[in-house]
Structure 1
Amino acid sequence: MNATTSRGTLLAALACVLVGGSFTANSLLGEYPYAGGQFLRYGLACLLLLPLAGKGATARLRALAPRQWVRLCLLAAVGMVGFNLAVIAAERTAEPAVPGVFVGCAPVVVAVLVPLLDGRRPQRAVLHGALLVAVGAFAVQGWGRTDGAGLAFSVCALAGEVGFAVLAVPALRPLGPRLLSATVCAVAALESAAVGLLVVGGGWLRRPDAVETAALLWQAVVVTVVGFVCWYMGLQRIGAERATLFSGLIPVAAACTAPLVGTGSYGLAQATGSALVGLGVALGSGALRRAGRARRAPGRAFRGNGRPLGHENRVPGMPD
């Protein structure tokens, strides 16, 4: 694993662990207006990210084509505001584990969708790793009561999670992770305000109490500023297929932090699911294959032409 891949892996993992911790923070915001909370979270995050956007940020934004702005608006609407709305709507008639299980399937969808959009076949190792991650996420969260509406909104939440990764890829090159994060946060804040004004009305925003303020600050500073930048930096280095594998760490982190605020427990099922998620990530990212190659390296036999035995069976296009 080279330095770029290692750094991308660590960044994607850290981002997903931070997002998993945000679910615990969400449990402290049950009485706060959704749209107002999202507006404060993304608005504050945008203000914090703008100084980090780098020189020439304004010129890079002006250089974007209209279709690129449409993509950014869709990214914020689908992957941020829409995702959170879908989770909240699903939990009205379904237990929280239900949308969590659907969101846990995002690595499988991305492992199939991204290669198809690129005109290539899905990589078998990535797909098998994604399936293990999905099974592990299910084991961590379990299943719960639901109805048709809960299932439908859970599917929408899955679409939002997939969109958050897939829609961002073309915008990373012209904007970079920091400016992209700042831009989509600004768009998401405006979209949240629009949702609040049109749907909720005058009560869409109020002054948070001390606990709500702490939860909103955690979401804005840690989850959004640090988490988004780490996520997009990881996505830039290892690609959407492998980066999305780490979304399996979201329910694991949520399960680990829930006991800290008394909203859940960590038992045998969570431990088993966490192990499956770890195995799936290692398999899909290629870590297991590289580790096996490293163990075999000292004793590898060579042919007379200097090539190791079995080298001819390497899959073309796959890195050593």
Structure 2
Amino acid sequence: MLLAYLMLASSMMLVGANVPVAKLLAEALPIPLIACLRCLLACMVLWPLMRLVERPRGMPARAVMGNLFWQAAFGTALYNAGLLAGLRFTSALEGGLVLATLPAVVALGSALWLRERLGARGWTAAALAGVGMAAINAVRAGGGGEGSPVGNALVFAGVIGEAVYVLLAKRNAGRIGVITAAFWMQAFSAGQLLPFAALSLPWLAPGAASPFNVALLVFHSLTASVLCLLLWYGGLRRASASVAGVFSAFLPATAAVLAVLVLGEAFTAGHGAGFVLMLGSILLATWPARSGREGRQGAGPAASFPGDRRRP
């Protein structure tokens, strides 16, 4: 079980580490180009992995493929566009904290869209996430921090796209392999983003395709779209989904630490308050429910996996 917990924690830490990486990329390359190349690189790895591990027979059913198309549109295209565009304006520290609202947003979406009953813990988690967002944006009113309300709003738009992705994924649960689903979503996303990537080529600055930026892009693609997938679902084979969701707390923590240590961003008291509130929201939304009324209602999706197209 310790190995499973290590895999889950490593997966979330890699997702968090990709927030400052994405900020560096967004400042150097056109956003559509980053997103499209990321998808194409992931496809190059996922295709042979899918053939080796899951060995699918033929194409997935039409209904499954249609659902995967929309998962790709929301969970890859919109998520990456929101995250990368937002990180051009806000700090990696605040971007990581905004991403921590995902479990609460998914829980709210389950209640409002799927008409699932949401327990008191779920509503409290959503409230804490909202107050946490207000706290980190209040830093701006006090003249502290290096973020931006506009940037935070764009990152939150990406969170909404990811939440829609998670809710759509429920339709395909158990109908297609995880790696197969990930491959087709990356392929659909590459097709959706390709026209925008082509249009962005004239805006590519001289020297932007430096070895450093290429290395960042390869790391960003293969960790967020492939390695995190393998680690997360490898951990889920031994740990329950409800327990796994608690490890989402490693995402904002890792993003915050690397933003301060690597990018030199300032960590203020307002950020500390926002971090505590976001952590409380994650734990309430994902902690295994006790038996009884709350256990029957649930607190929301426990093991949603923020970051990129990894789940079925």
Structure 1-normalised TM-score? Answer: 0.69
Which residue of structure 2 lines up, in the alignment, with residue 219 of structure 1?
220
Q: Secondary structure at the match of 1:264?
A: coil
Following the alignment from structure 1 to structure 2, what is the Cα–Cα distance between the partners of residues 127 and 98?
Answer: 23
Moved more, 123-132 or 199-208: 199-208
Which segment drifts farther, 213-222 or 116-125?
A: 116-125
1: CA distance, partners of 2:151 / 2:269 = 27
2:307 counterpart residue number? none
- Give 2:39's aligned residue: 42
Could you tell me how far 1:203 is from its partner in structure 2?
A: 5.8
- Between the aligned partners of 1:21 and 1:250, the Cα distance in structure 2 is 8
Q: Which amino acid aligns with 2:296?
A: G
2:60 is matched with 63
One-letter amino acid matched to 2:228:
G
Q: Which amino acid aligns with 1:49?
A: L
Distance 1:130 1:221 in 2: 31
Q: Provide the rounded CA distance (Å) in 1 between the counterparts of 2:17 and 2:39.
A: 17
Residues 151 and 51 of structure 1: is their aligned pair in 2 closer, same or farther, counting only changes over 3 Å? closer
Residue 82 of structure 2 corresponds to 86
Instruction: Work out whether residues 19 and 250 of structure 1, in 8 Å CA contact, stay in contact via their aligned partners in 2.
Output: yes
CA change 1:204–1:231 in 2 (3 A) is farther
Task: Give the Å deviation of 1:91.
Answer: 5.8
What CA distance in whole angstroms lies between the structure 2 residues aligned with 1:117 and 1:188? Answer: 24
- In structure 2, C-alpha distance between the alignment counterparts of 1:115 and 1:17, rounded to whole Å: 28
Q: Is the 8 A contact 1:140 1:255 kept in 2?
A: no
Question: 1:256-295 maps to which residues of 2 (within 5 A)?
Answer: 256-266=257-267, 268-287=269-288
Taking the TM superposition and a 5 Å limit, the aligned residue runs for 1:204-215 are 208-215=209-216
Task: Say which SS state the counterpart of residue 208 (structure 1) adopts.
Answer: coil
* 1:112 has 2:108 as partner: yes
CA distance in 1, matches of 2:18, 2:280: 24
- Contact map agreement 1:73 1:187 (CA 8 A) in 2: yes
Structure 2 runs not aligned, ≥5 long: 141-146, 299-312
Q: Is the 8 A contact 1:73 1:184 kept in 2?
A: yes
Higher mean C-alpha deviation, range 154-163 or range 25-34: 154-163
Inter-CA distance 10–252: structure 2 relative to 1 (3 Å threshold): same
Query: Secondary structure at 1:84's aligned position in 2?
Result: helix
Whole-Å separation in 1 of the counterparts to 2:240 and 2:85:
33
1:260–1:103: structure 2 CA closer, same or farther, 3 Å change rule? closer
Kept in 1: contact 2:94–2:152 (CA 8 A): yes
Partner of 1:317: 296
| TM-score for both structures, normalised by structure 2 | 0.71
1:200 is matched with 200
> SS of 2:173's equivalent?
helix
Contact 2:32 2:197 in 1 (8 A): yes
Residues 101, 141 of structure 1: 8 Å contact kept: no
Distance change (3 Å), C-alpha of 1:58 and 1:127: same
What secondary structure, in the 3-state scheme, does the structure 2 residue paired with 1:173 have? Answer: coil
- Residue 81 of structure 1: how far off its partner (Å): 1.5
Question: Matches of 1:68 and 1:215 in 2, distance apart?
Answer: 33
Aligned to 1:250: 251
Do residues 21 (structure 1) and 21 (structure 2) align? no
Tell me the C-alpha RMSD between the 2 structures. Answer: 4.0
How far apart in 1 are the matches of 2:185 and 2:102? 21
Letter paired with 2:48: P
Matched residue pairs, number?
286
| Alignment partners' CA distance in 1, 2:244 and 2:131 | 17
Unpaired runs of at least 5, structure 1:
291-310
User: Could you tell me how far 1:31 is from its partner in structure 2?
Assistant: 1.7
State the Cα distance separating 1:212 from its structure 2 match.
0.5
Identity of aligned residues (%): 23
Code of the aligned partner of 2:36? F
Residue number in structure 2 paired with 1:183: 184
Distance in 1 (CA, whole Å) between partners of 2:195 and 2:175 is 28
Q: CA deviation at 1:38?
A: 1.9
Aligned-pair CA distance for 1:183:
1.7
* Cα pair distance change 1:64/1:282, threshold 3 Å: same
Question: CA offset at residue 278 of structure 1?
Answer: 3.6
